[in-house]
Structure 1
Amino acid sequence: MSNLKLKTLHMGPAQCAVDLGDGSERGEYVNQDYILQKLGRPHRAINLMYCYYPNDDKWPGRASVVHADPSVQFAWDFPYDDYFTYKGGLNGTLDDEPFTYMRDVRRHGQDVLLTMTIDPKLTDDHIIAIAKDLRTFGRVQLRINHEATGDWFSFNKRASYEEVAAFFTHCCEIIHREAPNVKTIICLDGCKELEDEKMEMEDIFAEASRAADIVSVDRYMALHWGWPYDVAEEGGDTFARHTVEKIYKLAKNSYERYTVVNNGVKKPMVLSEFNADGDVTGAYDQAQMLKDFCEMLKADKEKWLSGFTLYQMRDRGRLGLEIEDPNNADVGIEQPILETYREIIHEDFFSPSMDEGDEITLPAKLRWGGSEDADGVALPIHFDSNPVFCEVYFDEDNIDMNLMMELNGHWFYKAPGVKCIDMMSAFFKKPLDGEADMTLKIFAPPASGENDATQGDDWMTNYYTELKSLPKVRVRFAPIVK
């Protein structure tokens, strides 16, 4: 190993990033170790969905639990939104949700995408407290009061659309001042029909759109919004299906209208929730529609979409890569869309860029800016043939490091204290057919999941780690005993 030429390595953005929803009113949080093992790579960001109505009766209990009522026949017919409840904020704690999950997300080399519905009547001290909560979590994306032109969420029932728009704008001012590491996302309904010349309520939300850092719409190619209170059957009116082409065009039209509203500035555009509902399409068409959309995206010469968030990892209905086992909530039942999605996210178009730099010697300073901006190292490894054993060992100089590593397109996580990582799963689906020169890519996200305020002026957006020595790589090309 001493003769190998270690090089610097920069990870940058994909042509189109992939984010993943993990938990909502329809499913529970799935830990990042499980997701990484199932999908073989980290995401740009993980979307966590929470609500904040701290002045409400029985807060912070989950709405569907503390306000359970047999007369409820719609997912949003509770006094406040039935998301997980945000335990931070004014007089809150950082030792509960969502912060426990945010740390899990960041340890595994991903950014936090936090969706929050917030009572628009709250005073500034609440918003300032939320901003301060998020300072240590790196390059957070914060989506406030999404689907803002709808009428189902509690914030729309408590304020006019004009008030909702003004509240978003004001939140942006506070967030940008108090937590400059956080980027805000506005999510409107966008263009609803192909003939629409404007987005829905475009003028009302124009100032809010200009205040946001990122613009978005939610788009479902099929959706059963009556779930779980009815079953989608022919003749029903609680579900819909659209063509892939229509959804693609509506999303792109919305991006173009956002650009007009923003006076020609092309802000990053994302689909903050995206899927086809298997309740409507069945499992096979669901997977095919996702594939068809992504093929359209790759073929489009106008690279207008910066990323999409697949909704979601595990769902109690059929909007997930897995269905939650009704007998055991900790078990997911893989759907055909999971394999399709796994293939898509490993394509170059949806993968982060990797650029090797100059040769370096140890110790090396690694920088974690986020999943789209990180500096690591590339360690060359020669393979005589497809390996039978491929392991990476850590000693006292590096055993306490928190690392994300990639080999042969497959990513691995090493938690602090772990001595050995078996990398053979990188070759199970992509075996080598002969000799190959490859690189082991190594990055170091923060072990605690949070940035360190003592590291320098840029601590909110960068975390630094020193790599003192290389791990030892054990590769064998035949069984130990034949």
Structure 2
Amino acid sequence: MSNELKAYHLHMGPAKCAVDLSDGSERGNYVNQDYILRKLGRPHRAVNIMYCYYPLDKGWPGRASVVHANPNVTFAWDYPYDDYFTYKGGLNGNRDEEPFPYMRDIRRHGQDVILTMTIDPNVTDDHLIAIAQDLTTFGPMFLRINHEATGDWFSFNRRCTYQEVADFFVRFHKIIKEYAPNVKTILCIGGIEDLEKEEMEKEKEFTEAVRHTDIWSVDKYMALHWGWPYDVAERGGTSHNRHTVQKIYELTKRSFERFSYLCGGITKPMVMSEFNADGDVTGPYDQVKMIQEFCKMLKDEPATWFSGFTFYQFRDDGRLGLEITDPNNKEVGVEQPALQAYKEIIHDDYFKPVFTVGEELSFPVKLRWGCSEDSTGLSIPLHFEKDPVFAEVNFDEELQDLNLMMEINDHWFYKAPGVKMIDLMPAFFDKKLNGPCELRLNLFAPPATGENDPSQGDDWAENYYTVIKKLPYIRLRFEPIEL
């Protein structure tokens, strides 16, 4: 069939509201991107992974809850340093260890990396320069530094004053701009936490950080059980809360407006870096309703001031996940009602990247992967007589080394290097065709290693290029082979 086909230039641009996903934290292990893609049917704008860096501490680089295990601990952050998995890069680090394999996995699958890091503000600049240098080959990505910085639970807040924490953010931001300019920094603070107050929390201390960061952020849970896993949320308890969706929405919007005011009216991208309603408080059904209501409010406004949110998280040991970790086997997730609701949300046009089809192209063609909000691919129009019985893409020896993300009928597929055939039929299991129609197979080529290649040219830190010599063979059949 491919000999008859044409292909066209294709650009992928940003959604009206980006959707990102947190994958792994102190509450759960990282889940590979192949599994998540199969469950949700599309990649995210970015995937958030969470690590800590306290290299001056006793016990480092062991995880705090392991090397400082203590039966008297009654709160998740009651350890000498934060109980995230530890960042193994940095000064004298090893880029073959965590989080780098996960960062490569994320980018191979056509997503950007959000690296959340809690960092000891007492480390010297050479540590920060080393971290910046670690990140340069991962293309445009995001670095969320010492998040929830106006709180009092993380170790960096117990070691330093709020002014020192804010000054550290500015110091690290400037180092990132010098050594890794393709990395965007995220300042995550409380923002407006009381609708009766005009100023944000710790405004005096963090004003300069608000002005320096690339992206503004707040973490606003509509419900949260922060006492997990050391107690059970029950009515009358003091380790959980629940707010109305409307209140959380207004607090977020007011935070954006205050950030802009502090910058003299200048605006920057505004995100919610952790978004959810805790099922420990709401149960599984109200959790779904609250998530849906917030996203509906974004669409109905429409919230042009809001750039995106990160759903926290895919698989959780508690009840903050689209899946809950099976207590018998941590490799298994128990799907929650939130997963299907979330899947419907992220397949809504408001939350999907925008495709723009250009002129017909000729082969060979060079595709550019910039980031999930700015990349060029190719689009192949296909004629379907009716709902297919077989639909597959076959890659001969000239094409087998390609690393591809492909989309058809609002369903995405990943092709790893070396794979010879991708079965497209899952795109039609839940979204059948009612008769003859035209669909496009859209194809992009993110970096096969997950990293950009410094040998590719002056713009290597921002773009990765892949040459495709010809179209793959596309096999469509509309009835069983034997009747």
Same fold per TM (> 0.5)? yes
Measure, in 2, the Cα distance between the counterparts of 1:150 and 1:103. Answer: 31
Q: Any idea what SS the aligned residue of 1:339 has? A: helix
Deviation sequence 1:8-52 (CA, Å, 0-9, x none):
000000000000000000000000000000000000000000000
Partner of 1:344: 345
Matched, 1:19 2:20: yes
Partner of 2:448: 447
Measure, in 2, the Cα distance between the counterparts of 1:160 and 1:326. Answer: 39
Partner of 1:4: 5
Give 1:5 deviation, angstroms: 2.4
Measure, in 1, the Cα distance between the counterparts of 2:207 and 2:3. Answer: 59
Deviation sequence 1:296-320 (CA, Å, 0-9, x none):
0001134111010000000000000
75-84 or 2-11: which moved more? 2-11
Matched, 1:384 2:385: yes
Aligned residues with identical type, % of pairs:
66
**1:224-373 alignment to 2 at 5 Å?**
224-373=225-374
Q: Any idea what SS the aligned residue of 2:276 has? A: strand
Measure, in 1, the Cα distance between the counterparts of 2:233 and 2:150. Answer: 25
Partner of 2:421: 420
Measure, in 1, the Cα distance between the counterparts of 2:86 and 2:283. Answer: 32
Give 1:235 deviation, angstroms: 1.1
Measure, in 2, the Cα distance between the counterparts of 1:52 and 1:301. Answer: 39
Measure, in 1, the Cα distance between the counterparts of 2:131 and 2:322. Answer: 31
Partner of 2:97: 96
Partner of 1:436: 437
Q: How many residues align?
A: 482
Q: Unaligned 5+ residue runs, structure 1?
A: none
Whichever residue aligns with residue 405 of structure 1, its letter is M
Q: Any idea what SS the aligned residue of 1:134 has? A: helix
Measure, in 2, the Cα distance between the counterparts of 1:455 and 1:394. Answer: 25
Q: Any idea what SS the aligned residue of 2:255 has? A: helix
Measure, in 2, the Cα distance between the counterparts of 1:357 and 1:3. Answer: 19
Partner of 2:481: 480
Partner of 2:121: 120
Measure, in 2, the Cα distance between the counterparts of 1:74 and 1:338. Answer: 28
Measure, in 2, the Cα distance between the counterparts of 1:4 and 1:351. Answer: 27
Measure, in 2, the Cα distance between the counterparts of 1:379 and 1:6. Answer: 5
Measure, in 2, the Cα distance between the counterparts of 1:129 and 1:97. Answer: 15
Partner of 1:173: 174
Measure, in 1, the Cα distance between the counterparts of 2:32 and 2:405. Answer: 16
Q: Unaligned 5+ residue runs, structure 2?
A: none
Partner of 1:219: 220
- Segments of 4+ moved more than 4 angstroms: none
Matched, 1:135 2:136: yes
Partner of 2:108: 107
Partner of 1:200: 201
Whichever residue aligns with residue 80 of structure 1, its letter is Y
Measure, in 1, the Cα distance between the counterparts of 2:197 and 2:461. Answer: 41
Q: Alignment RMSD, CA only?
A: 0.6
Measure, in 2, the Cα distance between the counterparts of 1:402 and 1:297. Answer: 34
Measure, in 2, the Cα distance between the counterparts of 1:94 and 1:138. Answer: 16
Whichever residue aligns with residue 20 of structure 2, its letter is D
Measure, in 1, the Cα distance between the counterparts of 2:330 and 2:4. Answer: 50
Q: Any idea what SS the aligned residue of 1:421 has? A: strand
**1:387-398 alignment to 2 at 5 Å?**
387-398=388-399
Give 1:2 deviation, angstroms: 2.7
Q: Any idea what SS the aligned residue of 2:211 has? A: helix
Deviation sequence 1:189-217 (CA, Å, 0-9, x none):
11112112011011210101111000000
Partner of 2:77: 76
Measure, in 1, the Cα distance between the counterparts of 2:382 and 2:203. Answer: 54
Give 1:143 deviation, angstroms: 0.3
Q: TM-score, normalised by structure 1?
A: 0.99
Q: Any idea what SS the aligned residue of 2:222 has? A: strand
Measure, in 1, the Cα distance between the counterparts of 2:276 and 2:309. Answer: 10
Q: Any idea what SS the aligned residue of 2:37 has? A: helix
Partner of 1:407: 408
Q: TM-score, normalised by structure 2?
A: 0.99
Give 1:293 deviation, angstroms: 0.4
Measure, in 2, the Cα distance between the counterparts of 1:5 and 1:203. Answer: 59
Give 1:476 deviation, angstroms: 0.7
Whichever residue aligns with residue 398 of structure 2, its letter is D
Measure, in 2, the Cα distance between the counterparts of 1:239 and 1:193. Answer: 18
Q: Any idea what SS the aligned residue of 1:220 has? A: coil
Deviation sequence 1:131-167 (CA, Å, 0-9, x none):
0000000111000000000010000011100000000
Measure, in 2, the Cα distance between the counterparts of 1:389 and 1:299. Answer: 39
